[in-house]
Structures are given as structure tokens and as C-alpha cells.
Structure 1
Amino acid sequence: MSAAHSPAGAETCDVREALDLITDKWSLYIISNLGGGPRRFNELKRVVSGVTQRMLTVSLRRLERDGVIIRTVHELMPPRVSYRLTPLGSSLLQAAAPLIAWSSSHISDIADARASYDRDSSRSVDIA
């Protein structure tokens, strides 16, 4: 069914699902680390700081299911597995590159703002 013929709100749900792909905690970090070429699981575990082995596995499976990465099993002893971006994943990285660059260049500004906010003890808790 095309977007023009979809029920009201269905397109919004589809867009939300696509955005979920990049708004989880680890996906963009993983995708950006695969931008330089294929990596093995343990390489990704080292460079994606803070991710647990389980969360990396879950994230990689999700990205593979969504067509963003390809998992390749190399028939060696012991067997090796590597991950690489698909053309869809490469286009996602290209689209996200400005956001990644902005994040890198403003991380200290964000840390400063958070520290300033946390020091201000006059803030009250908003109750909805």
C-alpha cells in the first residue's frame, strides 16, 4: 500500500519505525564504526565503548534484520564472523554523518551545560 493510500497515521508509524533504527543507544555508534570497512565482533566490542556483549549482539541482529549490515561467517578454524555495511547502511551513515560530527564537536559543550544544570539546586521537579 502506498503512503498516499495508507490509513491515517500509518505513514507516521512507518517513519517512527525507521527513526527507531537510529535513535536507539548503540545503532549509530555501530554504523559509524563499520564505515571504515568490515569488523569482527570483538573489534566492535572494543571500539563501541560501554556496550555489553549482549547488547552488541542484540543491536547487530537488529541492524542485520533491517538490512543495514551483513553478517559474514568465514570458514576458518576457529570460525570468524565479520560485519559490514550494506548499501542501505552506507546511505544511512552518509545521512547521519553531520549529526555524528556535530555530536563529536559539541560533546564538551553538552557536558558543561549538564554540569551547570546539575549545580543549580534551585530547580524544582516538574510534576505533570
Structure 2
Amino acid sequence: MMRFELLTMLTLSLGSSFLLGCGEKSAPATSPTVPAANSAAAEDPKIAAAIAKLPEEERVLAAAQKFCAVENKSPLGSMGMPHKILVEGQPVFLCCAGCEEEALKDPQATLAKVEKLKQAATAHP
């Protein structure tokens, strides 16, 4: 019986810690002068937090691209902080490091995809 009570107290303690957090104040997810990377970021705090980890100038570039250059249905930030690579000297953002090899297989195709993503982002902000 005592084990059950101990297990119950431990579960309640862990559950309340999880729900309440550690009490630290976090910085704002995004700078007011930098747009969110996509509309999903505005709706999903997890995505907004991942985008906020990027340096400010990279947030602007990621906002222009919105989606992974390889998995173009994967919003940047949906798998954590977007992975940045340089393709022929141009910054390209990916949803994760796992997409890097595919992106580098055909640099011209990757850059063309990024350009299409940027055009789509400006057409449908």
C-alpha cells in the first residue's frame, strides 16, 4: 500500500512540474521587427520557439522561404531549429540535418526549389 501512495505522490509531483515548468522567464519568441517564419509559427508555439533560435538576419531569410527545400510540405521550425546550409554560396534552410545530403545532390534544383518557395511565400503571405 505504501508503494502505491509513494508512486501516486511521485506521479503528481512530476506531473505538476511538467505543467508548471521550472519558473524561469523566457525571452519573447520572436523580435517584433522580424516576421515569423510562416503562419504556422504564429499558430504553433513550438515552431515559433524553433525559429526564434535563429540569428535575427537568418530569421528574415527563413521567413522568405517558409518551408524546407527538400521536404517542401514541412514548415521550417516544425522539427526544431531550421538547419542552414550554403548551396553555391546561397543560404538554404532545411527542416533538419537529415535533408542536407538530398539538398546537395543537385544544387541547381535545390536553389530553384528555394526560389519557388520564396515566390509562393510572397504570393500567399
TM-score by length of 2: 0.27
Pick the structure with more helix per residue: 1
